[in-house]
C-alpha cells in the first residue's frame, strides 16, 4: 500500500548519472527523522523539499528504505528552507554563502524574486547582471522540467521514462502527448506500442484513432520481425493487427496506402498477394542484394595451375581432398563471392583450411569471422588462424547511431567510408547471420575483396529477421558447393551419422549400442529431470572429460514442465546451491547467485567489457555484449549494485542491477539459442510440445551442437515424430527475390550452383 512522506533532501548517497538511479537521505518535515530513499530521478539535488509517494521495504544489506514511485517538488516554506535550497548546489554558481546573502536581502520574498524577477538578484552584492541572467535561465529550465514531470506522472508515466520523454521533446511534450502519444513508440527507445497505447488510453485517445491504428500496424510488423519475418502478407498483417487493436480489419485498409506514401511501408505484389514491408526492412534486403551482386565478379583461373596448387596444398597438409572439396577451392579462387555449405562431418573445416592455404600462397591478406564469440573461438582452433566475431571485425563502437534506423541504432567504425582493408573475408556459421548484420558487413567490403560464406543451410535460421544464407543459396545466382560425403573418421561418430539420418527423415536405432549417442526412455517430466541432474553431476563429466558446467541441456521450449524456465530453477538448486559464501540478487522472478551459469538474452551494443591479464589488470577493452553470449556470474557487489560476469571468451562485464534483466540462467537453453555453439556433451529432454516447434530441423540443430556425446532423455514416440515432421515455421523473407531481380540480365554469366549427389 502506498504511503506519502514530505521532507528535504539532506544529502545524496549514490547517483547513477546514466539512468538517474539515486540513493538519498531525506529529513522529514515534521520530526527531522532521516529516511533512506531510493528511486529514479531525472534531476534532483540536496536541499530540495519534496512530497514523495511510495512504500517502505526492507533491504537485506542496507535495512529499511523508502522506494519512491512518484514525487513532487514543494516550494520552500520559510527562509531557512529557501537558504538551504539555494545553497544546495541546485543552481550552478550559487553556494552557501551567496545563498545566505540573497535570503537576507529579499527575506520571505526570495523564491518569488528568483522565479519571477530574477534580474533583481543583481541588487545583491557579488551578483552581476550577467550572473543574474544565468541564474534566471537555470531556474526557468528547472521549473519547466518539474512542471513537465508532474504532467507526465499524471498519466502514470514513471520517473525514468518521463526523463527520457522530456529529454526528447522538451517543452513540446504537451502537444505530442495530447495529439499523438504513439509517436513515443517511434522516437524513444524502450517505449513500444503497448506502453504508448496505455498512455493514449489514459489521455482519452479513441480506440479507432488513425494514429492508434497506424502505430498498431507498424508495431505488428516489428513484432513479426522478432519471429524472423522481413514482411507479412497483407491478410496476415490485418489479422494480427486486428487481434492486437481489437478493431475490425476494415479500419486498416485505408491506412495502408497512406503509410506507403509516407514511406513508412513498402508494398509489393507476388502471385496476387500484397506483401507489406516496414520500409527499412525492404531497403535492407534490396541494398544487401545490390552489394552481393556487385561482389559477384568472375576471376578466371588457369586450370592446370589450380591442379598443381591443390596438389601442393595436399602434400603440405598431408590431406587428400575429395572432388567437391577441390571444386570448392577452385570456385573460391575464381569468384568474388562463394558459398560453401554442408552438414557435420562433410569436411567443411578441411576445405576452409585448403582455401586459406591457397590464398596465403597468393600473398593475399585474410580475415576470419563468425557471428558469436564461441563460434569464432571454434574457427580459430580449427584453422589456427585468428577469427573474430563479426561485430569485432567491423569495430563496433558503443556510440548509438540514432540517425540510421537500418543499423538498429548501432555504429560500426568499419563501414562504406572506412572499409575493411583485406583481400579475403571468410565468414563461418552463416545460418546465424541476420539481414541487419549482413548489411553492415557488406557496407564495409569493397569490390575486389573476396567473400567466402560458410554454413549449414539446414540449421535453424538466424534469431534476427531474414533468412540470409538460405536465400543466397536458393537465389541460384552465386557459385555454391555443397559437401555431402561423410568422411571416414566422421562416419565412426553416431552423432554425425544420426544427424544426417534425421535430416533425411530416416529413423534411428535407439538400442544404446553407440559410444556417443544414447537414448534413455522416460515418460514423466520429474523423472526426466532427475536423470538429467544425475547425468550432469555424475555420469557425463568423466565420460567426456568435461566440467559439469560445460555440459549443456538443450530443450525445444521456454515454457512447460521441461521448458527452459522450470529447468533452470531446478538445475540451479542442484548445480549451484545456496551457501553462506555466495551472494544472491533477485530480479523480478529470477534469482541470481554467484557462480551461476548465465546468458545474455538481448544485444547490448553499449555494454563495456574488458579482458583481464595478470593480477586482474585490463589488457583489452571494448563494447558490445550479444544475445546468446554465456558466462559465469563471478561477483555480486551490493554496495556498488553491480554484478560481474566472465564470458567464455575471457571478457568481463559489470552489470548494474537494473541491467540484470538482460541476463537469464543458462543451465538449460533453447535449441534456438544454441546456434553456432558446440559443447562436449548435450542432453536433450523430450516429452511433448507444439507440433510446429517439435520438428526435424530443430532436432537436427540440437544434435549437431554436441562434440563428444548426445543423450536424449524422454519419449521415443516424440523423438520419432520430430524426425517425421518436416514442417517448419514459415519465415517471410525475400532476399533471394531481390537478388534475382538485380541479376537477371547477367545470370547466364554466373557460375551455376554445384552440389554432389549422395
Ramachandran region, residue 246 (left: φ > 0; alpha: ψ -120 to 50; beta: rest): left
* CA dihedral for 91, 97, 99, 105, sign (positive or negative): negative
DSSP state of 520: E
345 annotated to bind ligand: yes
Distance CA 56, CA 65 (A): 6
Strand 366-370 and strand 424-427: pairing? parallel
Nine cell digits for residue 151: 504532467
Ramachandran region, residue 318 (left: φ > 0; alpha: ψ -120 to 50; beta: rest): left
347 annotated to bind ligand: yes
Distance CA 258, CA 242 (A): 18
Strand 618-625 and strand 604-612: pairing? antiparallel
41: Cα within 13 Å, side-chain hemisphere: 24
Q: Nearest to residue 660, comparing CAs of 635, 684, 685, 697? A: 635
220 annotated to bind ligand: no
Q: Nearest to residue 491, comparing CAs of 345, 699, 381? A: 345
With beta carbons less than 8 A apart as the criterion, state whether 435 and 288 touch: yes
Burial class (CB within 10 angstroms; exposed 0-12, middle 13-18, buried 19+) of 206? exposed
630 DSSP β-pair partners: 599
Distance CA 359, CA 98 (A): 74
Nine cell digits for residue 115: 522565479
Distance CA 212, CA 246 (A): 11
What secondary structure does DSSP assign to 670-692, as a single string? ETGGGTT--EEEEEEEES---TT
Q: Report the run of H or E that residue 269 belongs to, with start and end.
A: strand 265-270
With beta carbons less than 8 A apart as the criterion, state whether 243 and 249 touch: no
Distances (CA, A) of 327 to 340, 690, 754: 10, 42, 9
Q: Give the chain's radius of gyration (CA, Å).
A: 31
Distance CA 439, CA 280 (A): 12
Distance CA 93, CA 85 (A): 13
* CA dihedral for 646, 647, 649, 653, sign (positive or negative): negative
349 annotated to bind ligand: yes
Nine cell digits for residue 426: 571468410
With beta carbons less than 8 A apart as the criterion, state whether 102 and 110 touch: yes
With beta carbons less than 8 A apart as the criterion, state whether 84 and 111 touch: no
With beta carbons less than 8 A apart as the criterion, state whether 674 and 705 touch: yes
79 annotated to bind ligand: no
Distance CA 583, CA 593 (A): 6
Residue 30 burial (CB count, 10 A): 8
Distance CA 245, CA 224 (A): 15
Distances (CA, A) of 9 to 98, 104, 159, 193, 431: 20, 22, 17, 36, 55
What distance separates the 2 farthest-apart alpha carbons in the chain?
99
Distance CA 125, CA 132 (A): 11
54 DSSP β-pair partners: 3, 68
With beta carbons less than 8 A apart as the criterion, state whether 410 and 401 touch: yes
Residues flagged as binding site:
345-349
Residues flagged as binding site for ATP:
345-349
Amino acid at each position: 500500500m502506498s504511503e506519502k512522506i514530505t521532507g528535504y533532501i539532506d544529502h545524496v548517497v549514490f547517483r547513477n548519472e546514466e539512468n538517474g538511479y539515486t540513493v538519498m537521505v531525506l529529513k522529514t518535515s515534521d520530526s527531522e527523522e532521516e529516511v533512506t530513499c531510493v528511486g529514479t530521478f531525472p534531476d534532483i539535488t540536496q536541499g530540495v523539499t519534496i512530497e514523495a509517494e511510495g512504500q517502505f521495504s526492507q533491504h537485506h544489506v542496507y535495512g529499511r528504505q523508502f522506494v519512491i514511485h512518484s514525487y513532487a517538488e514543494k516550494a520552500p516554506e520559510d527562509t531557512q528552507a529557501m537558504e538551504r535550497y539555494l545553497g544546495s548546489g541546485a543552481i550552478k554558481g550559487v553556494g552557501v554563502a551567496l545563498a545566505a546573502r540573497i535570503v537576507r536581502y529579499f527575506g520571505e520574498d526570495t523564491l518569488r524574486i528568483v522565479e519571477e524577477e530574477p534580474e533583481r538578484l543583481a541588487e545583491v552584492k557579488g551578483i552581476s547582471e550577467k550572473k543574474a541572467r544565468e541564474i534566471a535561465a537555470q531556474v526557468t529550465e528547472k521549473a519547466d522540467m518539474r512542471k513537465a514531470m508532474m504532467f507526465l506522472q499524471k498519466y502514470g508515466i514513471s520517473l525514468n521514462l518521463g526523463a527520457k520523454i522530456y529529454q526528447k521533446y522538451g517543452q513540446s511534450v504537451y502537444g505530442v502527448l495530447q495529439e499523438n502519444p504513439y509517436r513515443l513508440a517511434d522516437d524513444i527507445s524502450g517505449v513500444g506500442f503497448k506502453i504508448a497505447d496505455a498512455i493514449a488510453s489514459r489521455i482519452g485517445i479513441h480506440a479507432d484513432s488513425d494514429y492508434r491504428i497506424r502505430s498498431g500496424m507498424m508495431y505488428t510488423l516489428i513484432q513479426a520481425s522478432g519471429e524472423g519475418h522481413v514482411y507479412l502478407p497483407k491478410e496476415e498483417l490485418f489479422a494480427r493487427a486486428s487481434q492486437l487493436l481489437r478493431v475490425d480489419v476494415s479500419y486498416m485498409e485505408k491506412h495502408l496506402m497512406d503509410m506507403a506514401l509516407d514511406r513508412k511501408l513498402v508494398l509489393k505484389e507476388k502471385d496476387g498477394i500484397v506483401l507489406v514491408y516496414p520500409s527499412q526492412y525492404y531497403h535492407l534486403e534490396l541494398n544487401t542484394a545490390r552489394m552481393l551482386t556487385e561482389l559477384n565478379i568472375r576471376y578466371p583461373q588457369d586450370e592446370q595451375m589450380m591442379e598443381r596448387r591443390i596438389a601442393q596444398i595436399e602434400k603440405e597438409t598431408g590431406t587428400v581432398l575429395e572432388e567437391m572439396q577441390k571444386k570448392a577451392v577452385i570456385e573460391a579462387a575464381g569468384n568474388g563471392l562463394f558459398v560453401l555449405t554442408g552438414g557435420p562431418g562433410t569436411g567443411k573445416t578441411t576445405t576452409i583450411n585448403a582455401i586459406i592455404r591457397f590464398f596465403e600462397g597468393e600473398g593475399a591478406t585474410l580475415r576470419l569471422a563468425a557471428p558469436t564469440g564461441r563460434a569464432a573461438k571454434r574457427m580459430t582452433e580449427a584453422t589456427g588462424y585468428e577469427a573474430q566475431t563479426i561485430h569485432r571485425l567491423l569495430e563496433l563502437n558503443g556510440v548509438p547511431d540514432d540517425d540510421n534506423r537500418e543499423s538498429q541504432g548501432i555504429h560500426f567504425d568499419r563501414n562504406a567510408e572506412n572499409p575493411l582493408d583485406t583481400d579475403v573475408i571468410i565468414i563461418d556459421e552463416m545460418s546465424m547471420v541476420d539481414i541487419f548484420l549482413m548489411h553492415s558487413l557488406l557496407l564495409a567490403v569493397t569490390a575486389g575483396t573476396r567473400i567466402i560464406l560458410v554454413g549449414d543451410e539446414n540449421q535453424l535460421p538466424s534469431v534476427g529477421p531474414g533468412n540470409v544464407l538460405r536465400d543466397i543459396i536458393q537465389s541460384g545466382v552465386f557459385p555454391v558447393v555443397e559437401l555431402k560425403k561423410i568422411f571416414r573418421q566422421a562416419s565412426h561418430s553416431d552423432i554425425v551419422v544420426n544427424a544426417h539420418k534425421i535430416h533425411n527423415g530416416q529413423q534411428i536405432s535407439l538400442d544404446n549400442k553407440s559410444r556417443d549417442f544414447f537414448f534413455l526412455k522416460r515418460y514423466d517430466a520429474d523423472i526426466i529431470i532427475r536423470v538429467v541432474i544425475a547425468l550432469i553431476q555424475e555420469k557425463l563429466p568423466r565420460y567426456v572429460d568435461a566440467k559439469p558446467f560445460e555440459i549443456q541441456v538443450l530443450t525445444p521450449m521456454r515454457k512447460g514442465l521441461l521448458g527452459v524456465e522450470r529447468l533452470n530453477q531446478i538445475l540451479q538448486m542442484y548445480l549451484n546451491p545456496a551457501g553462506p559464501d555466495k551472494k544472491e540478487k533477485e530480479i523480478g522472478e529470477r534469482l541470481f547467485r554467484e557462480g551461476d551459469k548465465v546468458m545474455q538474452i538481448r544485444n547490448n551494443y553499449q555494454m563495456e567489457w574488458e579482458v583481464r591479464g595478470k593480477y586482474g589488470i585490463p589488457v583489452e577493452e571494448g563494447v558490445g555484449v550479444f544475445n546468446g553470449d554465456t558466462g559465469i556470474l563471478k561477483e555480486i557487489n551490493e554496495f556498488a549494485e553491480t554484478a560481474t560476469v566472465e564470458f567464455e571468451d575471457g571478457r568481463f562485464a559489470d552489470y548494474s542491477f537494473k541491467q540484470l534483466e538482460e541476463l537469464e540462467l543458462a543451465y538449460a537453453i533453447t535449441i534456438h539459442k544454441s546456434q553456432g555453439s558446440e559443447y562436449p556433451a548435450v542432453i536433450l529432454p523430450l516429452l511433448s510440445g507444439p507440433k510446429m516447434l517439435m520438428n526435424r530441423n530443430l532436432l537436427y540443430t540440437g544434435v549437431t551442437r554436441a562434440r563428444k556425446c548426445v543423450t536424449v532423455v524422454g519419449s521415443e514416440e516424440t523423438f520419432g515424430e520430430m524426425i517425421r515432421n518436416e514442417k517448419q515455421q514459415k519465415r517471410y523473407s525475400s532476399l533471394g527475390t531481390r537478388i534475382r531481380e538485380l541479376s537477371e540480365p547477367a545470370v547466364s554469366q554466373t557460375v551455376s550452383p554445384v552440389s554432389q549427389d549422395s
